[in-house]
Amino acid sequence: RAVDCALCPNKGGAFKQTDDGRWAHVVCALWIPEVCFANTVFLEPIDSIEHIPAARWKLTCYICKQRGSGACIQCHKANCYTAFHVTCAQQAGLYMKMEPVRETGANGTSFSVRKTAYCDIHTPPGSARPLAGVGGASMGSSNSEGELEDDDEPSLGQDEDSKGWSSERAKRAKAKSRLKMKRARKILAERRAAAPVVSVPCIPPHRLSKITSN
């Protein structure tokens, strides 16, 4: 049967087994800060899930609206506590970036990875936000189903009152965000409800007869 992720409610994507016999998305393990990989080359097994604080399990994902189904991460913006599952964020096309960091100190040079993820409202200006699937593959352009293009936003360089334009831009941005989250929520719900695809081998009668005769 299809396995369930210990860190989110979503199906599909690349899974690895955890050190306690469960399964989890590789991408979930990469983004949840307390989680590690026992073998960083093969990225398995996933461990340290027990180190995830209880508060993280109680967060409500603002995309799928589920609480207590997996562990959420939060927006990187200061004073924004918007929470979301890693795979929900991927499906919604939220800004998520990993970049290597090199630090030189008294004990030599060390390398780490900086991870930043933002909710839809606080996405850095000019950042591309493709709508990605649970497995990371593109699921279509971000302006589908009537979503607003950035070019549709009012220009602040015009002579109109800038405060009025700012208010209009904020309203359009919120409308765009609501539409995007609604679409992602629908897709994720459909995937969770879908029956897993099972491949059944078909053996020709003559081959089956030969196998049974031996």
DSSP secondary structure, 86-138, as one string: HHHHHHHT--EEEEEEEEEETTEEEEEEEEEE--STTPPTT-----B-TTS-B
pLDDT for position 149: 38
- What pLDDT score does 99 carry? 92
CA distances from 70 to 13, 57, 138, 180, 203 (A): 16, 6, 24, 22, 41
The reported pLDDT for the residue numbered 50 is 96
Cα distances (Å, whole numbers) of residue 121 to 29, 171, 187 = 25, 11, 21
Residue 195: the pLDDT is: 58
Q: Look up residue 95 and give its two tokens.
A: 């800004």
pLDDT score for 188: 85
Per the rule left: phi > 0, alpha: psi between -120 and 50, beta: everything else, 190 is: alpha
> What's the confidence (pLDDT) of residue 128?
58
pLDDT at position 159: 44
Q: Report residues of the chain scoring pLDDT below 50.
A: 130-160, 198
pLDDT at 59: 97
